[in-house]
A and B are shown apart, each in its own frame.
Chain A
Amino acid sequence: MNAVPGRWRRLARKVAGHASWVLPGARSGWADAMRRELDYIEDDRAALRWAIGCAMASYMARLAALPRLHWRVSSMPVVAGSLLLFIALAMQGHASGEASLAAFEETTCDLPDVTPDIRPRLRCGTVRVPRDHARPDSGSFALAVVLVKSAQQPSLPDPVVYVSGGPGNPLTVYAAYQARNSYAPRRDLILVDQRGTGRSEPSLCPDLDRTLLEANLAVAAEETADAMVKRRAAYITCRDQAIRRGIDLADFGTSVTVEDFEWVRKALGIERWNAYGESYGTAVAMTLVALHPDSVRSAVLDSIYPPAPLPLWSTVVSEARDAFFTHCARDEACSALFPDLAGTYRETLNRLDRAPLIVDVPPQLHQPDDQVRITAPLFEVLVSRLFYFPTTYPRLPRIIQSVHDGDARGLGTLVASEMAAAMAENRATHAAVECRDRPDFRYPLPAGANVLDRTQLYGVCERWSDLGPAPLLPIGASVPTLVLAGQFDPVARPSVSRHVAELIGRNARWVEFPFVGHNVRHFSPCGARIAADFIDNPGQAPDLSCVDRNPPIRFVSKAQLP
Chain B
Amino acid sequence: MPRKPNSSRQTRALLATLLDRSQTWRHGYDLSKETGLKSGTLYPVLMRLSEQGLLESRWQDPERPGLPPRHVYRLTSTGLAFAREQARSEAVAVVGDPAGAVA
Residues on A lying within 8 angstroms of B by beta carbon are 1-2, 27, 29-30, 32-34, 36-37, 39-41, 49-57, 60-61, 72-74, 76, 80, 108-110, 116, 119-120
Cα distance, A72 to B2, chains bound together (Å): 12
Q: How many inter-chain contacts with C-beta < 8 Å in the A-B complex?
A: 91
CB proximity of A243 to chain B, nearest CB, Å: 35
The answer, among A1, A27, A33, A55, for a CB contact under 8 Å with B71, is A33
Complex: chain A residue closest to B10, CB-CB: A73
A53 with B68: in contact, given A27-B47, A37-B29 (CB under 8 Å)? no
- Top 3 A-B residue pairs of the complex, sorted by shortest distance between their CB atoms: A53-B39, A33-B71, A53-B40
19 inter-chain pairs at a CB distance below 8 angstroms, sorted by A residue, are A29-B71, A30-B43, A33-B43, A33-B57, A34-B28, A39-B68, A40-B63, A40-B70, A56-B39, A57-B40, A57-B42, A57-B47, A61-B47, A73-B11, A73-B45, A108-B68, A110-B66, A116-B61, A116-B69
A120 with B59: in contact, given A33-B28, A108-B68 (CB under 8 Å)? yes
Q: Would you call B39 and A54 a contact (CB within 8 A)?
A: yes
Contacts of B11 in A (CB 8 A): 73
CB proximity of A330 to chain B, nearest CB, Å: 54
Cα distance, A290 to B61, chains bound together (Å): 44
- Answer yes or no: B84 CB below 8 A from chain A CBs: no
Q: Would you call A73 and B41 a contact (CB within 8 A)?
A: yes
Q: Would you call B67 and A39 a contact (CB within 8 A)?
A: yes
Q: Would you call B40 and A56 a contact (CB within 8 A)?
A: yes
Interface residues on B, range: 20 to 34
Q: Would you call B27 and A37 a contact (CB within 8 A)?
A: yes
CB proximity of B30 to chain A, nearest CB, Å: 9
Q: Would you call A32 and B71 a contact (CB within 8 A)?
A: yes
Q: Would you call A50 and B67 a contact (CB within 8 A)?
A: no
Contacts of B21 in A (CB 8 A): none
Contacts of A32 in B (CB 8 A): 71
Cα distance, A56 to B42, chains bound together (Å): 11
- B51-74 near A? 1/0 per residue, CB < 8 Å: 000000101010100111111000
CB proximity of B12 to chain A, nearest CB, Å: 12
CB proximity of B46 to chain A, nearest CB, Å: 8
Cα distance, A120 to B59, chains bound together (Å): 7
Cα distance, A120 to B71, chains bound together (Å): 9
CB proximity of B38 to chain A, nearest CB, Å: 5
Contacts of B24 in A (CB 8 A): none
Cα distance, A120 to B57, chains bound together (Å): 13
Contacts of B71 in A (CB 8 A): 29-30, 32-33, 36-37
**Which residues between 15 and 46 of chain B lie within 8 Å of chain A, taking CB atoms?**
27-29, 32, 38-46
- Answer yes or no: B78 CB below 8 A from chain A CBs: no
